[in-house]
Chains A and B, each alone.
Chain A
Amino acid sequence: MGRMRCAIVGSGNIGTDLLYKLLRSDVLEVAAMVGIDPASEGLARAGAEGVETTSEGADWLIENAAGFDLVFEATSAWVHRLNAPRYREAGLTAIDLTPAKLGPLVVPPVNLDTHLDSPNLNLITCGGQATVPIVAAVGAVAPVPYAEIVSTVSSVSAGPGTRQNIDEFTKTTSASLVEVGGADHGKALMILNPAEPPILMRNTVFCALGDGYDREEVADSITEMVRTVASYVPGYRIKAEPVFDEDLFRTPGGDVKARVVVLLEVEGAADYLPPYAGNLDIMTASAVRVAEAMAAAR
C-alpha cells in the first residue's frame, strides 16, 4: 500500500511547520497545501518543496477529495466548524489542530489507540499536548481531584489564529485535563510573553494530590512520561525535579493537603519558526504521530 495522501489546510505558522515534518515522513505524503491567501509565505514554501498549492481554500479540497486520504486542519476553530462536515461528506479523515473540539480529544501517549478509526480527531491545543500526559501520569498512581496548567508562549510564536482562539484554547485545554488526563476538575491558563529574545514555550502543571499517594511513585511516573513524550517531541523536558508542596489547598475538587508542581519546557525543532516556538512543534509532532499510527493501522 502506498503512502497516505495528506492535505494541509491552513498556511500559517502551524501549517508551515507541519509541512516540513510531513516531508520527512516515510508513510505520509504531503499531496497539497491549501490556503486562502496567494501571497502567503507558507504556500510559497510548500511550492518551493514541490508540493501542489492552492489559495482557493477548502472548496478546492472538496472538489479534489478523491486524491486525498487525510486532511490536517491548521486554520482556526470557527473555520474548522465550517469545514468538518464537508470533509466528512467527502470521505476525508480529519486531524484537527485547532481547538474546535468536534472529534475526540487525542494525546498520543495517553489515548491514541482508542480513536484511530474516528473520522475526526482533535489535538486539543499546544498546552494540552504538553500537559495532559503529565496529569495522566500522576493520575495513573494517585487520585487527582483537580489539575491546573499554565501555558506560556512567546508572543511572536502566537499567530492571529491562536490569538483569536484564546477563549477556545482555554476551554478546550481545561476540558482535556479531565476528559483525557483523568482529573476530576481541570483549569487551564494561557499567557503570552513578549520578552526579547523570545522565551521557550513553558508549561507548569499543578496536580492536587488526594490522600494515599506515594511521592516516589508519582515522581517516577512523571519521569517516565516525560521520556515517552520526548520520544516524538525531542525538545520536551522537565526543568527540575517535580516539587511536592504540603499545605491546605482549597481546590475546586475539594480540600487537599498536598500538590505536585511540574515545570516543563518545550524547545522546538526549528522546522519553521526558531526553537522558541516549542508550541508549534508539540502540536505538529503530535499530529504526525497520530497520522503515522493511522497509516500503520490501515
Chain B
Amino acid sequence: MTAAFRLTDSTLRDGSHAVAHQLTEDQVRRVVAGLDGAGVPVIEVTHGDGLGGSSFNYGFSHTDEMNLVRVAVETATKSKIAVLMLPGIGVKDDLRRVAGMGVRVARIATHCTEADISEQHIALAKELGMEAVGFLMMSHMIEPEALLEQARLMESYGADVVYTVDSAGAMTIDDARRRVATLKAGLSCEVGIHAHNNLSLAVANSLAALEEGVDQIDGCMTGLGAGAGNCPTEVLVAACEKTGWETAIDPISLIEVADRAVRPIRPEQGVIDGDGLLLGYAGVYGSFLLHAKRAAERYGVPTRDILLELGERRVVGGQEDMIIDVAMELQHRAASAQPAAI
C-alpha cells in the first residue's frame, strides 16, 4: 500500500534540543535501527540547530554530528538519512561533506521571511544529487499569502518540497490549515508541515494538513524535540491509521520503538509545562526553552519573564544570544526597582 504522505522523523535532530545536544552514537544507532525497521522513510540527524550548530550560542555537541550522521547512514537499510542546515550557521562545505557520506536529503531552513538566503544552498544540494527541502521556520509570524511568496522563492531555487514550520508551536488548527491550503494552491512542488506541541495541537494540525493535501509530515518519537516537543511520530501514525490515512508503517512496532529506543533518552518528555505552553502562547522559538531556563538560573530572573520579553522583541530562531541580553536587562531592572533604603 502506498502512504498518503511521506514521513520524516526528526528525533535525532529536533530531539537534540531536548537533551542539550548530548546525543550519542549508541542512541543514534538504536533509534535509526528502530525507525528503519518500522518503515519510516526519512530520518533526520544533526545538531538541533543544523550542521555547524555546535557552539557557545546553541550548545556544544557531546559527539561530533559528523560521527552521528556516519552511524545513521551505516545503520539504515532502507530509510534515507537527512540533515538540517541553516544558512548563516552551517556552510556549503558541510553539505558537500555529508553528501559524500551518503546523506540523501538536505533540509535548508530560513526564517519565514528570509527565503532568499537559501538560494546557494538549495542549488548546491541539487547539484550534489540530494533531495532539497525548503524549511520556512516560525511560519506563524506571517500570513499565508506572504508565506507563499517565500515558498515560491525556494521552489524557484530548486526545492523539491517546501515546509511550513511551526517552530514556536503557536499555530491553531485553522492557522495550519490555511497555510497548507495556500501553499498547495500556489506551488507545483510538494508541501510539508512540521508541527510543535506547545498548544497540544501538533497531531491535530498534521491531520488538518492532510485534509488540505499536505504531501510530507515531520514527527519526533515521543515528541522528543525543542520547546514543548514535536508532533509525536508514533501518535501521528496511530491517529492516521484510525482516521483512514494510510502510512505504510505498523503502529504497534513503532510504539515499541518509541518505548524501547527513545523513551529512555528523556523519560519526562511529553509533559507540556508552564514554560513550554508559554512559548506557544507567546509565539517564541521553541529551542529557546532550555537556554532561557539556564539563563534564569544564572542571572536570577524568572524564565517566564525572559520568554515573554523575547516574544515582545520578536526575536527569531538563532538569536539565542538575546536570551543573555534579556536576562541581564531584567536583572538590572529588578535591581533598580528595589525600594531605596531609608
Which residues of chain A from 189 to 211 have any CB-CB distance to chain B below 8 Å in the complex?
Answer: 189-195, 202, 204, 206, 208
- Judged by a CB distance under 8 angstroms, whether A259 is at the interface is yes
A150 touches B117 (CB 8 A): no
* Contacting pair B328 A167 (CB below 8 A): no
Given the complex, which residues of B lie within 8 Å of A56, measured CB to CB? none
B56–A259 CB distance below 8 A: yes
Q: Are B57 and A206 in contact (CB under 8 A)?
A: yes
Q: How far does the alpha carbon of A81 sit from the alpha carbon of B117 in the complex, in Å?
A: 21
A111 within 8 A of B: no
Once the chains bind, are B316 and A191 in contact (CB under 8 Å)?
Answer: yes
B77 within 8 A of A: no
> Smallest Cβ distance from B47 to chain A, in angstroms?
12
**CB of B324 closer than 8 Å to a CB of A:** yes
**Is residue A245 within 8 Å, beta carbon to beta carbon, of the partner chain?**
yes
Query: Which of B87-95, B200-208, B272-280 forms contacts with chain A?
Result: B87-95
Are A204 and B321 closer than 8 Å at their CB atoms? yes
Could you tell me the distance between the alpha carbons of A166 and B22 in the complex, rounded to whole angstroms? 28
B61 to A, closest residue via Cβ: A250
Q: Is B188 an interface residue (CB 8 A)?
A: no
**Are A249 and B324 within 8 A (Cβ)?**
no
Tally A-B pairs: CB < 8 A.
Answer: 97
> A40 near B: Cβ within 8 Å?
no
A171 pairs with B114, CB closer than 8 A? no
Residues on A with C-beta less than 8 A from B54 are 252
- B115 (CB) vs chain A CBs: closest residue: A163
A170 on the B face (CB < 8 A): yes
Number of interface residues of B (CB under 8 A): 35
Pair A263/B321 contact, Cβ less than 8 Å: yes
B119 in the interface (beta carbon within 8 A): yes
- Which residues from B are CB-within-8-Å of A118? none
Q: Which of A193, A195, A204, A250 contacts B57 (CB 8 A)?
A: A204
| Contact assessment for A191 and B56 in the assembled complex, using a CB-CB cutoff below 8 Å | no
Contact A166–B120 (Cβ < 8 Å)? yes
Q: Is the CB of B314 within 8 A of A195?
A: yes
Least CB distance, A126 to chain B, in whole angstroms = 13
Of A160, A164, A194, A239, which contacts B113 at CB under 8 A? A194
B88 near A251 with CB under 8 A, answer: no
Asked if A152 is at the interface (CB within 8 A of a chain B CB), the reply is yes
> Is the pair B321, A164 in contact by a Cβ cutoff of 8 Å?
no
With a cutoff of 8 Å between Cβ atoms, the chain A residues found around residue B113 in the complex are 155, 194
7 contacts between A and B (CB under 8 A): A163-B114, A163-B119, A166-B88, A193-B111, A194-B113, A204-B324, A240-B332
**Interface positions of A (Cβ within 8 A of B):** 148, 150, 152, 155, 160, 163-164, 166-167, 169-171, 187, 189-195, 202, 204, 206, 208, 239-240, 243, 245, 249-252, 259, 261, 263
